[in-house]
Amino acid sequence: MASTLEKFIHSLDLRALPRVLQIQSGIYCQDSVYEMFGNECSLSTEEVIKVIGFKINKLIASICENNEVSQFSDKVELPLNFPGLYKIVADKTPYVSIEDIARKVSIGPTRFGHPCFYSTKDIKLANFTVKHDEQITFNSVEEVHGRMAVKCVVVRNNQSHFFTLPLSQEGEFYECEDDQIYTLKEIAEWKIPKCRNRIVKLSNTLHMRDSSNPLPENFDGCLILMPVYEVQAVMKSRKDIVHILSDLDVEVKDITDCYDTSSFLQPLSLEDIFERTSEEFPMVAEIMEGPSGSQKPYNLLSTGKEIVIYKKYQAARVLASEMRSDPSKRHYLIPMSYKGKFKRRPREFPTAYDLEIARSEKEHLHVVATKAFTSPHKELFSVAVGDQFLVQQCQTSEVLYEGRKKLIDVLACEQILSDSYKKVLLPMYMEGGFVEVIHDKKQYYLSEICQEFHFPFNVKVSVRDLSIEKDVLAAAPGLQFEEEITDSYLLISSASSPVESWEIPVYRLNMLVHLLSKDVQTVVPPVTRTTVEEVSEEEYYMLRRYENPTLHPPPRPPKKPT
């Protein structure tokens, strides 16, 4: 049965991909030419294509008032890289079954793929009862005892209860409130249910580079986002990926059940390659769709080029940001193989508690006060601008408060006087301001800094990496090393001229390849080139939030006694 391309997408379950479609009719007649992103292809009547995926290509946004489109709002088109951070407004329309949720909502192994819902009625299971209005986290869709089910978890009294709900489970399910913030791209990929729009509230406007803002000036309200999908398909006559927008007036027919899908090329993402076993490497692949970007090696990964993929692995990187106050500061991922050297730069500390976090056994932390503080207790020290201290250790001290003695946390320091030192105690809750005094003139490699110091840590490149054609770090006025992360990489080289190899990130590079049945000429990869990866502001926020979930922020400083 024929249907429009848009209806086909709305009815399609992502788990059923790939699907083979035959073009039935529409504005594209025999031998018509369709152009998208500079690619021309023929969409002839009875043409057969294999749909390998679809994603949201752009969003049509309208200003929202009372969960409806404002009558004064014009529709504006927002690209997925439109700057800003957004909070999701919970959908008020219920889902009628677990299958209804599984078909429309993205559920998967990644951090974004764990949506939360609640049921309006108790759900009685064999050994557990899910209470009404209790938050249920959906983790994955799997086959359990011969039938499809969703693996879920409920946290009750700080204890996790795991269970499965069959797709046939009916009820009235509502989306839970979500206090996370997302980029527009993350929302498009994970947080817009099929056949539904999504209401979001602007949480924070990011700096807009070389683009005009279609939203009203100083807008901070809610938007209704309506998705326009893009179909990714393979054609027998081509070796690249064809992109077709869902709103084209084309009728299609699903002929998957009576067609041999293996007759098409099999596109693989970098995530697909990474999931292969280590024994399958090295392998030769041809690029079907290359990444965008002008820096190496991305500018070498063009469509049609053959590459050797030697191995997969996890590698450490240091996430660094330029020390600038303006919104255009840049962010980098620096590999441990970086051969440049760094000199220390002074750190700034807003509270006494930050001094305690930063101090080390290796050296005394020497700071200068940039803000005055008057102590409410005579037992503790009052700070004047310009006072200098050597930070010693955290301890407790008795103070007199309303005629009663009370123990509070303090920071023991030595005040540096003109010809002597004076032992003083600073309250840990003190909100002041301190700048570090650097006595260390040594030049450090990146690995030495990671071993010897706590992050965040301020530096400037003193000797650039001569193995890099253009060392972008050397031009930075200063860098703050924020945290060390571990990420997934593939090691690749050109198949035709393997004189050097490159590490490419698995989860930040959009690229499709198909494997070739060719032998790898040399199993040992050539010399690996060091690449400092610049990450966008959206990628930076994602890395800080998700790449290292074991790294928790320090607790808040102790409050001033009341």
The 10s digit of each residue's pLDDT in 61-110 is 888 877 666 665 678 888 888 888 899 999 999 999 999 999 889 887 77
**Backbone phi and psi for residue 249, each to the nearest 5 degrees, phi listed first:** -85, 75
Domains parsed from the chain with CATH numbers: 1-75+190-265 (no CATH), 91-176 (2.30.30), 267-339+438-557 (no CATH), 348-436 (2.30.30.40)
**pTM passes above 0.75:** no
Over 70: is that where the pLDDT of 44 sits?
yes
Neighbours of 33 (CB within 10 A): 10
Reported as a pLDDT band with limits 50, 70 and 90, residue 484 is: very high
Q: How far apart are CA 329 and CA 347, in angstroms?
A: 18
Over 60: is that where the pLDDT of 558 sits?
no
Reported as a pLDDT band with limits 50, 70 and 90, residue 30 is: very low
Per residue in 313-343, pLDDT (tens digit) is: 999 999 999 998 777 789 999 999 999 999 9
Average pLDDT over all residues of the chain: 84
Burial class (CB in 10 A: 0-12, 13-18, 19+), 6: middle
Neighbours of 397 (CB within 10 A): 17
**Quick check: 182 and 115 in contact, CB under 8 A?**
no
Q: How far apart are CA 426 and CA 435, in angstroms?
A: 16
**Quick check: 495 and 519 in contact, CB under 8 A?**
no
Three-state SS sequence of 426-458: EECCCEEEEEECCCCCCCECHHHHHHHCCCCEE
